[in-house]
Chain A
Amino acid sequence: MPPKKKTQQTAKQDRIANKPRASKHKQSGKIKELFNQVVFRDWCKACGICSAFCPKKVIGHDDRGGPVIKRPDDCIGCRFCELHCPDVAITIIVRDVESERDRA
């Protein structure tokens, strides 16, 4: 039984390794880390701090000032919004590309 288990595991590892990665930096060839921005609308008071200070303009705002995630892939994960949200209503999570693709 143990050998069979081992082959299954290696097969899975190969499958992961051969999958195309999310996106690459053109020059460095490094894999760019991606982030998910989750806004908890029930607690958000639309103060506008997250959208005003976002260095990559990932977060925009709608007509009542609430945050809208406009370019999620541009996020560099500086967590300014997460640290400065007075209502603890925004979370930055490292995107797990593999699991998301599996789910899709």
Chain B
Amino acid sequence: MTKEVTKLIHKYLRHDKKFPHVWCPGCGNGIVLGALIRAIDRLGLEKDEIVLASGIGCSGRMPVYVDFNTLHTTHGRALTFATGIKLAKPSLTVITLMGDGDATAIGGNHFIHAARRNLDLTAIIINNQIYGMTGGQHSPTTPYGCYATTATYGHIEHAFSIAELAVTAGAAFVARGTVYHARLLDELIEAGIRKPGFSVVEAMSNCHVQFGRRNQIEDPVTMMKWLRDHAVATEKARKMKPDALEDKFTIGVLADLEKPIYTDEYQKVRDRAKSLARQ
């Protein structure tokens, strides 16, 4: 464990930007930012080796504050920009940051196909179960029966489970953490970046301002306690009965596969084509 965590985080921040950051008091995005920085520091990567691409939403503000190569892209298209960067320069470590709506609604198609394609990218998805920035509309991860600006009589749709979706779509590494389990979260992000292939780290976060306020959990502390009480480690969940897990979600590594990486395969195709041309 690194001593003086805050000092370490300051090393990677852009102090010429406006601080304190734009997020609401107690927002989980700040905790994810800290976890990401700690993970990168532990990997010992240079600032210039990293590209951080984000979409639109509260989470999209994150690259603004960190001193890497950063890209704030259009809504839902963080992964498409990241794909371009990775193919143009495969030596870079490309990380994308998305919100739940950004990744699974607006960029839903890009997300599943990036997972299927298995490029060496890391997608960090902050899941706060609502569209926070635009005013609390329900997102694909808003649970059934919850309230939102666009679900004033209770939400009648069922929620996506992002990590399980990524497993099914064929991502090489899938993990889920919460902002309460911050140490675990930075271990998972570290493992995700280290993993060759498409890795997804879903960070369950709190939006007490847009989600909590409409669902009688109005402060960050209660929301973090909710995350603490509803998270079950994957090892423990295997031994539990399905009905005990009904309102819970699992945290930890959900999938870790060895699959051929797109950039390697693409290089092989190029070599094959070159050798055929020579003949």
| Chain A positions near chain B (C-beta within 8 angstroms) | 42-49, 52-53, 79, 82-94
Contacts and interface: CB of A to CB of B under 8 A. Distances in A.
28 contacts: A42-B20, A43-B19, A43-B20, A44-B20, A45-B24, A45-B25, A46-B25, A52-B221, A53-B224, A82-B5, A83-B5, A83-B182, A84-B31, A84-B179, A84-B180, A84-B182, A84-B224, A85-B30, A85-B31, A85-B34, A86-B27, A86-B28, A87-B30, A88-B10, A88-B34, A90-B6, A92-B4, A93-B4
A88 B183 contact: no
Contact of B221 (A42, A43, A53, A87): A53
A22 to B, nearest CB: 18
Interface string B14-44: 0000011101111111110110000000000
A49 B13 CA distance: 22
Contact of B21 (A46, A87, A92): A87
Contact of B29 (A86, A89, A93): A86
B20 A79 contact: no
Given A48-B221, A49-B220, A88 B23 contact: no
Interface residues of B, number: 31
Give the 10 A-B residue pairs with the shortest CB-CB distance, closest first: A86-B30, A47-B26, A45-B25, A47-B25, A91-B6, A52-B221, A43-B20, A83-B182, A82-B5, A87-B20
Mostly, the A contact residues are: loop
B3 interface: yes
B7 interface: yes
A89 B19 CA distance: 11
Contact of B220 (A48, A79, A82, A83): A48
A64 to B, nearest CB: 11
A15 B187 CA distance: 43
A88 B27 CA distance: 12
A37 to B, nearest CB: 11
Interface of B: 1, 3-7, 9-10, 13, 19-21, 23-31, 33-34, 179-180, 182-183, 219-221, 224
B34 A83 contact: yes
Contacts of B5: 79, 82-83, 91-92
Given A48-B26, A86-B26, 13 more contacts: A44-B20, A47-B25, A49-B224, A53-B224, A82-B5, A83-B5, A84-B179, A84-B182, A86-B33, A87-B21, A88-B13, A91-B7, A93-B4
Contact of B26 (A45, A79, A83, A88): A45
A94 B1 CA distance: 14
A89 B20 contact: yes
Contacts of A52: 221
Contacts of A88: 6, 9-10, 13, 30, 34
